Each structure stands twice: as C-alpha cells, then as structure tokens.
Amino acid sequence: MAWKWYDSKVIEIREMTPTVKQFFLEVDEVADFDFFAGQFITLDLPISEKRLKRWRSYSIANHPNGTNIIELCIVHLDDGAGTTYLFNDVVVGSDIRFKGPSGAFYLPEKIDKDLVMICTGTGVAPFRSMINDILVKQKAFQSIHLIFGARYEKDILYREELENIERENQNFTYDITLSRDEKWLGYKGYVHQVYMEKDYSEDTKFYLCGWSQMIDEAVENLLIKKKIDKKNIIYELYG
Ligand SMILES: Cc1cc2nc3c(=O)[nH]c(=O)nc-3n(C[C@H](O)[C@H](O)[C@H](O)COP(=O)(O)OP(=O)(O)OC[C@H]3O[C@@H](n4cnc5c(N)ncnc54)[C@H](O)[C@@H]3O)c2cc1C
C-alpha cells in the first residue's frame, strides 16, 4: 500500500497505564484508511525546525476496519521530545499531520505456519492489530503464541481483550512475563525465558517488536541457541 501525507484530528485520548496513552486520529478526507495490519504511520510533530527531527513513527494498534480512525498506543519517555509533546500538548481536537501507511511488518495473506509474537510494552500494538485482523476476517491460522513483557502488572496493555481472545481461541496462547513485579504469579523476568523453554515446530515464524535491547537479545537467542533459520525471524525495531 503506497504511503502519502494525510491531515488528521485527534478525536479521543485514553489513559491505558500511568505512562501509556491511546490516541485516536480521524483522518481528513478519507472514508476508509486502508493498511496492512502491523504497519505504522509517521507523525510530523512541531518539535523542531528540521523536518527529519520532527518525525516519529507509531504502529497502528487497530486492525483495518473500513473506517478513517487510527488508534495509536504510545509510551511517554521522560526525556523524549516527541512523546512529551504528545502527552503534554496534544488534546482532543488537535491536528496531526502524518505519512503512511508504511513498513513491511505484516503477515502473509495465507498464514500456513505457526507464529510466535514476542514484544515488550507498546511493541504489542502491531500484534494486537494482526491478531484482530485474523479473527475479524476469520482467516485460518495454525497457532499463535503471543509473549508480552513489561515491568509491573499495571503496565500490561490490552490485557482483557487478549485474555478474552485466548479464552475463545484454543490455538491462541497469551503469556505475560513481568520483570519487576514481586507479587505476580505468572512468568517473572524477561520475554526470553518464555520462548526459550518452549519447543516450537521447525518452520515456526518468529515476529518480534520493541526496542533494540530486547530485539538484539531475542535475535541472538533464536539464531544461536534455538538454531532458528534467519528467514523465520522478522522484526520491527522501535529504536
Ligand atoms: C516503525 C516504528 C514504530 C514505532 N511504534 C511505536 C508505538 O507503537 N508506540 C510507541 O510508544 N513507540 C513506537 N515507536 C517509537 C517512536 O517512534 C519514538 O521513538 C518514541 O516514541 C520516542 O520518541 P521521543 O521523541 O519521545 O523520544 P526521542 O526524543 O526521540 O528520544 C528517545 C531516545 O530514547 C530511546 N528510546 C525510545 N524509547 C525507548 C524505550 N521504551 N526504552 C528504551 N529506550 C528508548 C530512543 O532510541 C532514543 O534514543 C516506533 C518506532 C518505529 C521506528
């Protein structure tokens, strides 16, 4: 899908956790903003005179649904210029210019392999889009194992929705692992131990999304320790 520049208006902002917000953008002059589930858009924020320094990319967290509404799921970084602008200055009614949809981080039309989706924090956004897209289009899939990592229970994103999906779909497994929550009864630690202890079929596709520390370690583990062919490791690097 070819990208282009669009104008949009923020129509809703929801607090998901103390540091993460959902931003809903309504795209001007478009009835149906189409994209592949997993793609991202790039916002042009008024935070610098220099064009390239103003651009911040965000995965589209909703699935393509025939509307002109885009949902983003964004974590605020204390020292981050873009997210501080989004969290402090953007309100319902603000105008946001963006380009997109962009990126090649999406699933093939026919899903004929087991999928493992590994993410931390807002890295869950493209997977939430992909999973809902599969379910809404009633696409056949073999198995999906979603592994979500965060620090504390309060940081879990889209938990209720994903737990419901797990309850209703026996070939979808959802594991949460928390690195700092002493009281958590599930997996404790980073995402890596979760996929490392599982046995997956030989041609399983591993999709990773998040920041470089997690992605670098996961790619190394999958390639070297788990001997996964590199063509089966696909990732979206946030920075
Ligand atoms: C394709 C793509 C999709 C993205 N999708 C999302 C998304 O859906 N949600 C989202 O919240 N972000 C997403 N990001 C990250 C986003 O583009 C910005 O980098 C992020 O919001 C920080 O912008 P900032 O201007 O606040 O920080 P900046 O002023 O740009 O500085 C941030 C600095 O901190 C580093 N950094 C940023 N985030 C983290 C982190 N969590 N942990 C450790 N270091 C970090 C960056 O590498 C950079 O050095 C995506 C990035 C890409 C490339």
Q: Whose CA is nearest to atom 32 of ligand 1?
A: 80
Could you give the percent of the chain with pLDDT greater than 70? Answer: 100
Phi and psi torsions of 140, nearest 5°: -70, 140
Domain count, the chain: 2
Give the span between the Cα atoms of 105 and 76, in whole angstroms: 23
Q: List pLDDT tens digits, range 59-97.
A: 999 999 999 999 999 999 999 999 999 999 999 999 999
Last residue of a domain, one of 35, 69, 102: 102
Please work out whether the CB of residue 20 comes within 6 Å of at least one atom of ligand 1.
no
Q: Examine the pLDDT at 3 and tell me if it is beyond 90.
A: no
User: What is the mean pLDDT of the segment spanning 212-224?
Assistant: 98
CATH code of the domain covering residue 188: 3.40.50.80
Q: Helix, strand, or coil here: 162?
A: helix
Q: Given the CA of residue 74, which atom of ligand 1 is nearest to it?
A: 11
Q: Given the CA of residue 125, which atom of ligand 1 is nearest to it?
A: 8
pLDDT at 161: 98
- Does 83 carry a binding-site annotation? yes
User: What is the mean pLDDT of the segment spanning 6-29?
Assistant: 98
Q: Examine the pLDDT at 7 and tell me if it is beyond 90.
A: yes
User: What is the mean pLDDT of the segment spanning 218-223?
Assistant: 98
Q: Average pLDDT over the chain, rounded to whole? A: 97
Is 229 found in the same domain as 133? yes
Please work out whether the CB of residue 101 comes within 6 Å of at least one atom of ligand 1.
no
Residue 145 pLDDT level (bands cut at 50, 70, 90): very high
Q: Whose CA is nearest to atom 42 of ligand 1?
A: 211
Please work out whether the CB of residue 236 comes within 6 Å of at least one atom of ligand 1.
yes
Could you tell me the sign of the dihedral formed by the alpha carbons of 188, 149, 213, 204, in that order?
positive
Is 120 found in the same domain as 95? no
> Ligand 1 centroid to 19 CA: how many Å?
13
Range of the domain at 39: 4-102
CATH code of the domain covering residue 63: 2.40.30.10
Please work out whether the CB of residue 209 comes within 6 Å of at least one atom of ligand 1.
no
For helices 159-168 and 125-136, the axis angle rounded to 10 degrees is 40
Residue 52 pLDDT level (bands cut at 50, 70, 90): confident
Is 125 found in the same domain as 66? no
Q: Given the CA of residue 236, which atom of ligand 1 is nearest to it?
A: 1
pLDDT at 51: 85
Q: List pLDDT tens digits, range 148-203.
A: 999 999 999 999 999 999 999 999 999 999 999 999 999 999 999 999 999 999 99
Please work out whether the CB of residue 80 comes within 6 Å of at least one atom of ligand 1.
yes
pLDDT at 2: 81
Q: Which stretches within 80-233 are classed as H helix?
A: 81-88, 125-136, 159-168, 191-196, 212-220
Q: Examine the pLDDT at 1 and tell me if it is beyond 80.
A: no
pLDDT at 110: 95
- Does 38 carry a binding-site annotation? no
Q: List pLDDT tens digits, range 18-29.
A: 999 999 999 999
Complex-level ipTM: 0.96
Please work out whether the CB of residue 155 comes within 6 Å of at least one atom of ligand 1.
no
Please work out whether the CB of residue 17 comes within 6 Å of at least one atom of ligand 1.
no
CA dihedral 23, 133, 148, 98 (to 10 degrees): -30
